[in-house]
Each structure stands twice: as C-alpha cells, then as structure tokens.
Amino acid sequence: MSDLNKPIRPVKRDDKERLRVQKIEGYKQKNSASMEDYDVSNNKHNTKTALGSSILFFFKKILNRMIPEKAGSQGVLSHDSVLVDIRNILNLLITIRDEDPSNDPNFAKSFSTSWHNLAMHFFSSTKGQTPTSANIKKVNEFLQMIHHFPENDEHNLAFYLQKYTEEEWFPIPFFKLIQQLHDEFLSAGEKSHLYIWIRHLQNLLGESKGA
C-alpha cells in the first residue's frame, strides 16, 4: 500500500507531551541566553555608572579642598570676597614697602583694581549682600586711612585709585604718592603710614575666621 493510502496515525499522548516539552525547553534556553546577555549588559552599565559617580565625587572632593570656601544656603560655593581683597591690598602695600613700584603701570593697575573691588565688596557686605567674616569696623577704618592720605591735599590716594578705574589714567601726583609712601617707610619705619596700614590689615586678617 502506498504512503498516500495509509491511514493517518493518530498522535499519541506521549508524542504530544514530548513535542510540548521540546518547545518549552527551547524557549527556556533562548530566554536564558537573552537574560544572560541582559545581565552582562546591565552589569556593564551599572559598573560605568558607579565609576562615573566615583570620579565625580572624587573631583568634587578635590575641588572643595582646593578652594577654601563654604557652601551657601543655596548650595553654591562662595568665597569671602572682602578677605580676598584685603589680602591682595596687603601684598601690594608690602611691595611698596620693599621696593619702589612708582614707575610700574602694571602695579598701579593692580592697586587700583584691588582697591575698587574692596570698596565694592565692603559696601555690599554692609547691606548684607556679601557675607564676610571680616571685622567691618576695621575694614572701614582702613578705607578712611586711604581717604585721608595725604592730609591737607587737594586729592587723596583713594581719589586717584578710583579715578583710574573710571578713566584709566594715572597723573604724576599719584606716582609721587607711591614714592612718598616708600620713602617715608625707609625714614620713619614703624611711625610711617605704610607700616601702620600693613599692621592694621595683618591684624584684621589674623582675627578673621578662616583668614
């Protein structure tokens, strides 16, 4: 009898179970392979994320150590501008003491810029806009010292420092004042204006928190 004429053999229950098991096992193997691929990929992603977070934390920690600043109420790093300005001016006054920079335009520009910044940050701090740990009273005393040097003169040192910031010019009288401060220190020592200003700023920084 030809194959076409043979009666169709019914599928036994055992055959059905074997086919179903083969399909399930095949699905499990395929699904297991997919899950392994996912786990590997996911582990790589988690490793990269953890590594990125570690690097970010590391640089943030280094940044906080490099910049001696405190985080403000908004979580933004801010520095004590008044103390920074005072340190800058103190260094400039020490330069006048140790040498005669009256012929150095770059020094004059630095002196003017530092003076302008201090005045701006000082008045901002008196309004509560720029927090500072500096003694405001002593900062004001220093500003008044500059405003009253030299005495009984038409224009004081503060006038020339501010004038340069506004118009970028330094008349001869300004350079003469710088030279006068240097020469006076050499002759008067501890009684000179320059010595008194330097000591005043050193004491101010010494008593300021975090100076």
Tens digits of per-residue pLDDT, 140-170? 999 999 999 998 888 999 998 887 766 666 6
* pLDDT attached to residue 172: 85
Burial of 173 (0-12, 13-18, 19+ CB in 10 A): middle
**Is the same domain home to 194 and 121?**
yes
Whether the per-residue pLDDT at 35 is higher than 60: the answer is no
- Domain count within the chain: 2
CB 80 within 8 A of CB 134: yes
Mean of pLDDT values over 169-186: 90
- For residue 96, give its domain range: 77-207
Q: Give the bridge partners for 77, in sequence order.
A: 71
Type and span of the H or E element at 97 = helix 81-98
Domain assignment present for 72: no
Taking Cα atoms as reference points, which of 86, 77, 91, 92 lies closest to residue 136?
A: 86
Torsion, CA 54, CA 56, CA 58, CA 63, rounded to 10: -170
What's the whole-number average pLDDT of the chain? Answer: 73
* CA geometry: angle 76, 78, 80, nearest 5 deg: 160
In a domain, 4, yes or no: no
Question: Does residue 166 form part of some domain?
Answer: yes
How many CB atoms neighbour CB 156 within 10 A?
A: 17
pTM of the model: 0.61
Give the pLDDT band (50/70/90) at residue 124. Answer: confident
| Pair (62, 83) in one structural domain | no
Write down which residue in 66, 86, 103 finishes a domain: 66
